[in-house]
Amino acid sequence: MRLDLLKILNEERAARRATVLITDTANGEQRLVRGSDIDGDPLADLLSDALRMGKSRSVEHEGRNLFLTVQAPPARILCVGAVHISQALAPMARQTDFDVIVLDPRTAFATPERFPNVELLAEWPEDALHRIKLDRYTAVCLLTHDPKIDDPALIAALKADCFYIGALGSRKTHAKRLERMRENGFGDNSLSRIHAPIGLDIGSVSPAEIAVSILGEIITALRKKPLRVEKAA
């Protein structure tokens, strides 16, 4: 591999940005496409599919055999709220290869005993999120029912390019949440990114069932190929 390409790969990896290295298997020619540049690339559909699945693969394009080497950051889930749902969600998410962060300033809830083997931040979102650096490979789940904790994290998630934002609460609770976000300057396009009530509608009742519905919705958001109308929107 050319040293200039290797340097870019390392820089993008350190910054949690995705890339795809394209290698012509016939002549060894290579070029690198950053995740942010894929939409304008002649191989946009092939690159998007490979990046969406997070897997390197061989493809054929216009009679050429190409190998796509995918470099994608580990997807992660930020649970805002060290609640029962988070306790159920964290081990499930780790089983499906997500990194998990649990954030809650309430030290009675945010304890290692309740969240073993999970990155645990007993801090206010305003103090922690500048270090976490939300990005397009981060899913954010707002689970406290407390605007003082949820809202700062929601504002940060809406400003970032998170691939999923979900919020716990009834439709009435969500309507009030939207009012507060509009007061913070967010329009309908941004607010439409919020999945609320959080999780797939599977009739879940217990914290574990709700966690299953949330994880299913997150995986759908990460892996499902968007419809043309969704891409246009």
CA nearest to 207, candidates 49, 110, 120, 82:
82
Given this model, what pLDDT does residue 36 score? Answer: 86
Mean pLDDT of 169-176: 93
- 98 three-state secondary structure: coil
Give dist(CA 25, CA 217) in Å, integer: 37
Rounded Cα–Cα distance for residues 67 and 54 (Å)? 14
Mean of pLDDT values over 64-86:
95
On the question of pLDDT at 75 being above 60, the answer is: yes
Region 164-179 average pLDDT = 95
Cβ-based neighbours of 213, under 8 Å, separated by 6 or more: 198, 199, 200, 201, 202, 204
Range with the poorest average pLDDT among 11-15, 82-86, 154-158:
11-15
**What domains can be seen in the chain, in order of their start residue?**
3-71 (no CATH), 76-223 (3.40.50.720)
- Is the model's pLDDT at 186 over the cut of 90? yes
- Over the stretch 94-147, which tens digit does the pLDDT of each residue have? 999 999 999 999 999 999 999 999 999 999 999 999 898 899 899 999 999 999
Residue 96, helix vs strand vs coil: coil
Query: For position 226, what pLDDT does the model report?
Result: 60
* Band of pLDDT at residue 228, cut at 50, 70 and 90: very low
Cα 191 from Cα 178, distance rounded (Å): 7
- Which has the closest alpha carbon to 153: 103, 198, 201, 193? 103
Average pLDDT on 28-38 reads 91
Closest CA to 72 of 95, 99, 100, 104: 99
pLDDT of residue 3: 86
The residues that bridge with 80 in the sheet, in sequence order, are 103, 142
Among 11-15, 52-56, 176-180, 224-228, the range with the most confident prediction by mean pLDDT is: 176-180
Share above pLDDT 70 across residues of the chain, in percent, rounded to a whole number: 96
Helix ranges restricted to H, 96-146: 125-132
Q: Which residue has the higher pLDDT, 13 or 1?
A: 13
Name the pTM for this structure. 0.85
- Give the mean pLDDT of the chain: 92
